[in-house]
Chains A and B, each alone.
Chain A
Amino acid sequence: MATNGKQGDTIVSNAVTPIESGAPSASASGTTRRKFLKASTAVAGTVMLGGISRSYAAKGPIHVASMFDVTGGLSIYGLPEMNVSRMAIQHINKSGGVLGRQVKLHEYDTQSKIELYSRYAQEISVNDDISIVVGCITGASREAARPILTKNNKLLFFPSVDEGGECDKYTFMQGSDILQMETPLIDWAVKNAGNKFYVVAADYIYGHVATAWTKTLVAQAGGTIEGVEFIPLDVSDFGSTIRKIQSAKPTVIMSNLVGGNHMAFYRQFAAAGLNRNIAIVSPSFGLANEQLVLAPEETNGIVVAYSYFETLPYPQNKAFVSAYRRQYPDAGPLMDLPAQVWNGWHQWKDAVEAAGTTEINQVVAAMESGIPFNGPSGRILMDATSHRNIQDINLAQVNDKREYQILDTQRQVQPATTVPGSESCDLVGKDKNSHRMIMPNI
Chain B
Amino acid sequence: MDEIIVIALSALTSIAILMLTSLGLAVIFGLMRIVNMAHGEFLMIGAFTTTVAVRAAGFPIWLAILCAPLVCALVGVFVELAFIRPLYRRRLIDTLLVTSGLSLILYQIAINVFGTSPPGIGTPGGFVEIGSYTVSHYSLFLPAVTVLITVLLYALFKSTRYGLLARAASDNPDMASVLGVEVRRVNLSTFVLGCALAGLGGGLISPMVAVSPGVGQSYVGQAFMTVVTGGPAFLLGTLSASTLLGGIANIVSQLFTTLWGLTALLVTAIVLVRLLPGGLSANWSRQL
Contact = CB atoms under 8 A, between A and B. Distances in A.
B117 interface: yes
B182 to A, nearest CB: 41
Interface stretch (B74-82, B153-161, B189-197, B209-217): B209-217
A76 B136 contact: no
Contact of B258 (A1, A8, A231, A246): A231
Contact of B254 (A231, A240, A295): A240
B176 interface: no
B116 interface: yes
A229 B255 CA distance: 12
Interface in A232-257: 232, 234-237, 239-244, 246-247
B134 A294 contact: no
B51 to A, nearest CB: 10
A324 to B, nearest CB: 15
A195 interface: no
Nearest to A77: B116
Interface string A62-106: 000000000101011001000000000000000000000000000
B209 A236 contact: yes
Interface stretch (B6-14, B23-31, B94-102, B232-240): B6-14
Interface in A286-314: 288-290, 292-295, 297-298
A244 B117 contact: no
A237 B136 contact: no
A274 B134 contact: yes
A264 B122 contact: no
A293 B126 contact: no
A332 B117 CA distance: 8
B115 A267 contact: no
Contacts of A231: 258-259
B270 interface: no
A188 interface: no
A3 interface: yes
A280 to B, nearest CB: 15
Contacts of B14: 237, 239
Contacts of B115: 1-3, 330-332
B284 interface: no
B137 to A, nearest CB: 8
Contacts, number: 147
A310 B136 CA distance: 34
Contacts of A295: 120-122
A293 B3 contact: no
Interface residues of B, number: 50
A263 B262 contact: no
Contacts of A292: 117-119
A272 B136 contact: yes
Given A75-B111, A330-B115, A243 B136 contact: no
Given A244-B254, A272-B135, A76 B117 contact: yes
Interface in A260-278: 260-261, 263-264, 267-268, 270-274
B172 interface: no
Contacts of A73: 214, 217
Contacts of A274: 134
A243 B133 CA distance: 8
Nearest to B131: A246
A203 interface: yes
A289 B116 CA distance: 9
B285 interface: no
A36 interface: no
Nearest to A3: B112
B287 interface: no
A230 interface: yes
Contact of A76 (B17, B126, B209, B212): B212
B261 A240 contact: yes
A62 B7 CA distance: 61
Contacts of B120: 267, 293-295
23 contacts: A3-B115, A71-B108, A230-B258, A232-B262, A235-B258, A237-B250, A239-B10, A239-B11, A239-B139, A239-B250, A239-B253, A243-B10, A246-B6, A247-B3, A260-B215, A267-B207, A267-B210, A271-B136, A271-B138, A272-B136, A273-B127, A273-B136, A332-B116
5 closest Cβ pairs, A-B complex? A263-B210, A295-B122, A271-B136, A271-B123, A76-B116
Interface of A: 1-3, 8, 71, 73, 75-76, 79, 203, 229-232, 234-237, 239-244, 246-247, 260-261, 263-264, 267-268, 270-274, 288-290, 292-295, 297-298, 330-332, 402
Given A71-B108, A243-B6, A273-B134, 18 more contacts: A229-B257, A232-B262, A235-B258, A236-B209, A236-B218, A237-B13, A239-B250, A240-B253, A241-B253, A243-B254, A260-B212, A267-B209, A268-B208, A288-B117, A289-B117, A293-B118, A295-B121, A298-B122
